[in-house]
Structure 1
Amino acid sequence: MPIFEVQVIIENKAGMNDPEGETILNDLVLKGSYSTVKKIRSAKMLKFQISATTKESAEKTIRKLCDDLRIYNPMVSKVTLSVKSA
């Protein structure tokens, strides 16, 4: 059975506060050398390797895993999955 790598990117939805991104931006502004940077949004990425018959099956399984384990809060988080052959 083929092996797929599934990347799960979890970030705050648009309009939600992003304290980590704001802290990084404030640090850059204080240093003064990156004043052209106007906004930073942070995210976390999880990488899974999974045996599956198809890319679609791999994505469906990892999405269910993330939902079942409550890896993210659907009220505030946006989740993006990408799948490629390992």
Structure 2
Amino acid sequence: MKYYVELIIINKDSVRDPEGETIQKYVIEKYTNNIIETRVGKYIQFKIEANNEEDAKNLIEKIANEGRLYNPIIHKILVRVRRE
């Protein structure tokens, strides 16, 4: 089966996000005070073939970890899978 797998890389909650802070201060706050925090990250989308959603997710997690697509000391990853 074919899947789209999204890999989202963002700073951990305990790590400052200067880019997100800048967007919050100079863009968001011009329009509303209802948004409490803005964080910025990286988004990578993969289209892959796998036997099931779990295999698709595991493959992308392996690539992210072993391929050093992020720094696990300061980043966290979110992996979302959907069928084509």
Q: TM-score, structure 2 length as denominator? A: 0.88
Matched, 1:63 2:61: yes
Structure 1 residue ranges, 4+ long, deviating more than 6 angstroms after superposition: none
Unaligned runs of 5+ in 1: none
Deviation at 1:63, TM superposition (A): 0.7
- Cα distance in 2 for partners of 1:6, 1:27 equals 32
Query: Sequence identity of aligned pairs in percent?
Result: 32
TM-score by length of 1: 0.86
Deviations 1:31-65 (A, max 9, x none): 74434433211122110011011111111111111
Which residue in the other structure is 1:78 paired with? 76
The residue that corresponds to 1:13 in the other structure is 12
Cα deviation, residue 85, structure 1: 0.4
* Equivalent residue, structure 2, for 1:25: 24
Partner letter of residue 83 of structure 1? V
Residues 8 and 79, structure 1, Cα contact 8 Å, conserved in 2: yes
Quick one: distance in 1 between partners of 2:10 and 2:63? Answer: 17
Change (3 A) 1:80 1:32: closer
Whichever of the two has the greater Rg, that structure is: 1
Structure 1 residues 5 and 33: CA distance shift in structure 2, 3 A: closer
Aligned length: 84
